[in-house]
Amino acid sequence: FFLVLPKTLILSLLLSFPLWWRFTMPKHYRPAGKKKEGNAARYMTRSQALKSLQVNLNLFRRLCIVKGIFPREPKKKVKGNHHTYYHVKDIAFLQHEPLLEKFREIKTYQKKVLKAKAKKNEELARLLLTRQPTYKLDRLIRERYPTFPDALRDLDDCLTMVHLFAVLPASDREKLEVKRVHNCRRLSHEWQAYISRTHSLRKVFVSVKGIYYQAEVEGQKITWLTPHAIQQVFTNDVDFSVLLTFLEFYETLLAFTNFKLYHSLNVKYPPILDSRLEALAADLYALSRYIDASSRGMTVEPKVDASSSSQSNDREESELRLAQLQHQLPSSEPGALMHLVADNNEEVEEDEETRTCKSLFKDLKFFLSREVPRESLLFVLPAFGGMLSWEGEGAPFKEDDECITHHIIDKPSAGHMYLSREYVQPQWIYDCVNARIILPTEKYLVGRIPPPHLSPFVDNEAEGYVPDYAETIKRLQAAARNEVLPLPGVGNDDLEDPQNLLYAGVMSRAEEAEAAKNKKKMATLEKQYHEELKMEITGTAVDVAPVEEEGEEGEEEDPDAAIKQMAKDDDTMSKSAMSNKKRKLYEAMKMGLEKKNEGVKLIEERKRKLKKAQR
C-alpha cells in the first residue's frame, strides 16, 4: 500500500497520524491519566478534600460548619459506599476562604506558645497569649443569609443550641468556659424579652425533653426547645467539640438577629440591665424593663469625648447610663414589665392573632410560688398580656397584694390562703395559651390530677383521633365565639344529613322530606354521570337508565349504598389508569392509612377498657 502511494502523500499521512489514530479509536475511549468526567469529576471523597486543602480533619469540620457545607450523596459512588463525598465546587469554595488562612496563622502562633512553654519561658508565653490573633464570623453571617427572613428561617437549631448551653455547667474537660455560658444565657434572655414584648409567642408544650415554644416573627414561624431547669450532666457519647463549633456560629447569628429586632423597636443594643435585678437572677424582667423604658424614650445618652478611649471612661459611661435608667424606673413599678409597645410605636399594625394573644391575660395578676418554673412563666405570661410577680427580692409586688387574681402553685401550701384569688397549677397557664381562651380552673386546682396536656403541634383531625378534652376545649372556644357546634359524636358531615337535622330539631318534617328527595336526585344524577364517564373510557356500551322526575313511582334505592359503589368504581378506574410506580405508591399510602386507623382503634379500645375499669 505504501509502495504504491507517492512520497508526499506518505509523509502527510505520517504527520497526521495522531489525528487519524483518534478517529479510529472508540468514541468513549479516554486514555489513562486524562481528565475525568461524570460523578468522578463532580465529587471527591473526604480524604481527597483534606489532601487538596492541606488541613487536618478537625479544621476541615470546623470550616464546613461555619461555611454551611455538607456532604453530598451522588447517584453513583465511584470510590465505594463507605466514603463521604463532597462536591468539587464546595471544596474549591473553601480553598479561597480567608478564614482558612486565619486558622493556619492561629495554628502557627500556637506552636510559638508551646515552644515558649517548653523552654520554661513563662513570661514570653503569657505575652504571646495576650497577643494571640482572633477572628470574627460576621462576614459569614452576611454571606450565608443575604436577607433577614433567611436568617429567621434558620433560627430553630440556633435557639435550641443556645438555650441548651445556657443551662449547662462550665467544664474544663469539655472546654466550655464560664464566659460562654453567660453569653448564651444573655442571648437567650434577650430573644425571650423581644418575643414577650412583641406578643409573638404562639404555642407552648411541656414535654419530657423540655418546653417547646413556637413564635411568629415577621411572618416566619420559629420553633425551639428549652431544657428544664434541672442539673444537667455531660455524657460521654456526645462530641462537644463539634457542638461548640456550631455554638460559635450560632452565637454570632443570634447576636445579629437580636440587634436587628431590637433596632426595629427603636431600642439600643446591647441593653444595659439593672445591676440589682441582674444579681437577683431576674435578667428577663430587667430586660423587659429596659425595652419598655427605651421604647418610651426615657433614657438620655451621655456625651462622651471622642478622644477618651480608656477603660475608666467606658466604666464611667456605663455607670452614668445605668444611674439614669435606675432613676427613671422605680424598682417596684409593676406596669413596666407588662406594657410592650410605647406611645411612639402605636402606628405598627397588629394582626388578629397578635391582638388576641396580647389581651388573653389582660387585667389578670399572677403570683408565682417557689416550686413552679419561674423562667418559663416569666416568658409566657407577659407575652399574653399578664402581670406577674414572685417570691423574693426585686419582685414587682408582694404576695399579700389584694389585686392578685391567680396564684400559681404546684403543691399544697401550709401558709396563708387568700379567698380573693384562685390557686391553680402551672399547666392551666399553658393550656389557656394553646386554647386562646381562659379555661375553667376547677380541673386545675391544687391537689387535683389535671387533665391531659395536649400538644398544639398535633392536628387531631388529620391523625383521626380527637381526645375528649380536645372536644371540651373546642366547645369552650365555640361558646366564647358564640358559635353552635354539633352534639358530641356528631361530625360536620352529619349536619348535611336531613335525617340528623330533623332529630336535632333544626328543620321540620316537611323540609326534611324535601331535602331527602333532593339528595336522592343528586345521588342518581351523579351515578349516571359516572356511568357515562366509564363508558367513554372503556368504549363499551352501558345502559343508562333515565332519571326519574319527582313524583314518579320507582324502585327505592339507598343513597348511601349508591355513593359507596360510585366511590369504589372511581377507585378502580383511577387505579387502572395509573402506571405501576404510581399504583404501588398509592397502595403504600393506603397501607399507611390503614395502619393509622388501626392505631386509632387501639387507642379507642384502651380508652373503653379504662372507662370500664373506672366504673
- Per-residue pLDDT tens digits for 134-147: 899 999 999 999 99
Instruction: Quote the CA–CA distance of 202 and 357 in Å, as a whole number.
Output: 8
- Three-class DSSP category at 492: coil
Instruction: Quote the CA–CA distance of 199 and 216 in Å, as a whole number.
Output: 9
Stated pTM of the model = 0.71
Q: What is the pLDDT of residue 296?
A: 62
Q: What is the pLDDT of residue 366?
A: 92
Position 559 confidence tier, pLDDT thresholds 50, 70, 90: low
Q: What is the pLDDT of residue 71?
A: 93
- Per-residue pLDDT tens digits for 12-40: 665 555 554 445 445 555 556 556 677 77
- Three-class DSSP category at 540: coil
Q: Would you say residue 253 has pLDDT above 60?
A: yes
HEC profile for 245-269?
HHHHHHHHHHHHHHHHHHHHCCCCC
Q: Of the ranges 167-171, 208-212, 248-252, 320-324, which one carries the lowest mean pLDDT score?
A: 320-324
Instruction: Quote the CA–CA distance of 116 and 114 in Å, as a whole number.
Output: 5
**What is the average pLDDT value for the chain, to the nearest integer?**
77
Q: What is the pLDDT of residue 539?
A: 64
Mean pLDDT value of segment 236-257: 92
DSSP string, 74-103: -SS-TT-TTS-EEEHHHHHHHHT-HHHHHH
Strand pairing category for 365-368 and 406-408: parallel
Q: What is the pLDDT of residue 384?
A: 92
Stronger pLDDT, 415 or 220, i.e. the higher one: 220
Instruction: Quote the CA–CA distance of 475 and 67 in Å, as a whole number.
Output: 50
Classify the C-alpha dihedral 568-574-576-579 as positive or negative. Answer: negative
Q: Would you say residue 337 has pLDDT above 80?
A: no
Residue 54 region by backbone torsions, left for phi larger than 0, else alpha for psi between -120 and 50, else beta: left
Q: What is the pLDDT of residue 112?
A: 92
Q: Running DSSP on this structure, what letter comes out for residue 442?
A: G
At position 177, the amino acid (one-letter code) is: E
Stronger pLDDT, 297 or 240, i.e. the higher one: 240
Instruction: Quote the CA–CA distance of 567 and 547 in Å, as a whole number.
Output: 20
Mean pLDDT value of segment 600-607: 84
Mean pLDDT value of segment 433-454: 91
Stronger pLDDT, 118 or 535, i.e. the higher one: 118
Which helix (H) or strand (E) covers residue 204, if one does?
strand 201-206
Q: What is the pLDDT of residue 11?
A: 60
Q: Would you say residue 61 has pLDDT above 80?
A: yes
Q: What is the pLDDT of residue 480?
A: 82
- Cβ 168 vs Cβ 181: under 8 Å: yes
Q: For residue 95, give the C-alpha cell.
A: 480553598
Q: What is the pLDDT of residue 245?
A: 93
Position 554 confidence tier, pLDDT thresholds 50, 70, 90: very low
HEC profile for 334-372?
CHHHHCCCCHHHCCCCCCHHHHHHHCCCCCCEEEECCCC
Q: Would you say residue 343 has pLDDT above 90?
A: no
Q: What is the pLDDT of residue 229?
A: 85
Mean pLDDT: which of 38-47, 80-89, 474-483, 541-550 is highest?
A: 80-89
Q: Would you say residue 429 has pLDDT above 90?
A: yes
HEC profile for 151-194?
HHHCHHHHHHHHHHHCCCCCECCCCECHHHHHHHHHHHHHHHHH
CA dihedral (193, 199, 200, 202) in degrees, to 10, reads: 120
- Per-residue pLDDT tens digits for 297-324: 544 343 334 344 445 555 555 554 544 4
Q: What is the pLDDT of residue 462?
A: 79
Sheet of 220-226, strands arranged across:
201-206, 211-217, 220-226
At position 443, the amino acid (one-letter code) is: K
Mean pLDDT value of segment 566-581: 73
DSSP string, 445-473: BTTSPPPP---TTS-HHHHT---HHHHHH
Q: Would you say residue 404 has pLDDT above 70?
A: yes
At position 327, the amino acid (one-letter code) is: H
In the chain, the percentage of residues whose pLDDT exceeds 90 is 32
In the chain, the percentage of residues whose pLDDT exceeds 70 is 71
Mean pLDDT value of segment 559-564: 63
Q: What is the pLDDT of residue 354?
A: 87
Position 248 confidence tier, pLDDT thresholds 50, 70, 90: very high
Nearest to 370 by CA among 316, 327, 421, 413: 413
Stronger pLDDT, 248 or 484, i.e. the higher one: 248
Rounded to a whole number of angstroms, the distance between the first and last alpha carbons of the chain is 110
Q: What is the pLDDT of residue 35?
A: 61
Q: What is the pLDDT of residue 347?
A: 42
Position 420 confidence tier, pLDDT thresholds 50, 70, 90: confident
Mean pLDDT value of segment 206-231: 92
Q: What is the pLDDT of residue 291?
A: 73
| Residue where the block lists cell 444573655 | 186
Q: Would you say residue 201 has pLDDT above 90?
A: yes
- Three-class DSSP category at 274: coil
Q: For residue 343, give the C-alpha cell.
A: 406611645
- Cβ 156 vs Cβ 162: under 8 Å: no
- Cβ 74 vs Cβ 83: under 8 Å: no
